[in-house]
Amino acid sequence: MSAVAQFEREKIGERTRDVKRQRLAEGYFVGGAVKWGLTVVDGKFVADVKKTALIAQMKAWRSQGKSLRDIVARVVERGEPISVDTVRTLTNDVATAEMHRRGRRKKS
């Protein structure tokens, strides 16, 4: 009897993982933390216009040689709490290129 229960638990896990992978591939939110600059509307990821503009501004500041902490202070002044690590990730061109390659950002 316990072997049957174990088998059924494994099958349920497989089905759950399959559905989550499919929903994520379709652009649906399946749980966890939402990336900075995105929001969830009707279960789908949508770019936050204000934060998207701030990301572009952060990249400009970074290219001008501003420090990560200075950028954090400027963004917080604009009413958006953010960490140094998040600014580092968002202003890293490799990370941004990877996000675009995977199609995680809505194209304009």
pLDDT digits (tens, 9 = 90+) for 44-69: 888 999 999 999 999 999 989 899 99
- What's residue 1's pLDDT? 73
Two tokens, residue 17: 């993982």
pLDDT tens-digit readout, 68-108: 999 999 999 999 999 999 999 999 876 445 555 555 555 44
Examine the pLDDT at 5 and tell me if it is beyond 50.
yes
User: In terms of pTM, does the model score above 0.95?
Assistant: no
